[in-house]
Chains A and B, each alone.
Chain A
Amino acid sequence: MAIIFYISSAVAVLSTVMVITRMNAVHALLYLIVSLLSVAVIFFTLGAPFIGALEVIIYAGAIMVLFVFVMMMLNMGKKAAELESSWVNPRMYVGPAILAAILGIELVYMLASGSNRAAGFEMVGPKAVGIGLYSSYLVGLELAGMLLLAGLVGAFHLGRRDED
């Protein structure tokens, strides 16, 4: 199973790199779906099958579909991709890359100083998650529900065309 983790990790990193370098938004979106699917595989290897399923259904499914719809509505074609490449200059990667590298070094440094213990030796199934979600985190769950409702109402309100 470990080999699956490493392979999907590599796929995830590569596809994410592709996401941020594509000029065509639809291509980027497809790579993002690949990335999300590989992360879903990683969840399975870590013994979290329920979350893996959610990742596929909600992230790679629902949320990405939203993006697809929006892109359809914006109707971006070849011109958009050309425009995009005129906006992105390879030299622009330097600054953010340095910033991200420093952050990465810091994170790696912190990881290295921790104890080395294995993860994913035990399965945490949907039942445990459900029990936790509806007992200790009930209030959080309700709040998340309200947040979603607010997002729904907000999106509806913003997306509505004016009557005039």
Chain B
Amino acid sequence: MTAIPMEHGLLLAAVLFMLGLIGLLVRRNIIFMLLSIEVMLNAAGLAFVVAGARWAQAEGQIMFMFILAMAAAEVAVGLALVLLMYRKFKTLDSDQVSRMRG
């Protein structure tokens, strides 16, 4: 196996996370916001795996699996909410549903 400095892996995770954050903050379309969240979650998982590989422990991968499960659940509920929102407001603009009224 080729050794890769851990910092490089973590740096990649940080860059991906920041891109996800930028995407989340910039986009108004709720679908894009969800995609950005996926990017961020993936980056966090990457950081875990890199750290796990650095100490040659299985924990990093286990944490990634938990993140995976969480992401799956989140996406399922989130997309259901998106559908509901589109049905109700006929829009995907998150700013237009800022009022807490059903």
Contacts and interface: CB of A to CB of B under 8 A. Distances in A.
Complex: A in contact with B (CB within 8 Å): yes
Given A42-B12, A59-B71, A100-B21, A155 B76 contact: yes
A131 to B, nearest CB: 7
Given A35-B39, A48-B61, A63-B75, A118 B12 contact: no
A96 B32 CA distance: 15
- State the main secondary structure of chain A at its contact with B: helix
B26 interface: yes
- State the main secondary structure of chain B at its contact with A: helix
A87 B8 contact: no
**Interface bracket on B:** 35 or more
Interface residues of A, number: 86
A32 B83 contact: no
Interface string B40-70: 0010001001111110111111101110111
Interface of A: 1-2, 5-6, 9, 12-13, 16-17, 19-20, 25, 28-29, 32, 35-36, 39, 42-43, 45-48, 50-51, 54-55, 58-59, 62-63, 66-67, 70-71, 73-74, 80, 84, 87-88, 92-93, 95-97, 99-101, 103-104, 107-108, 111-112, 114, 116-124, 128-129, 131-133, 137, 140, 144-145, 147-148, 150-152, 154-159
Interface of B: 1-12, 14-16, 18-29, 31-32, 34-36, 38-39, 42, 46, 49-54, 56-62, 64-66, 68-77, 79-84, 86, 92-93
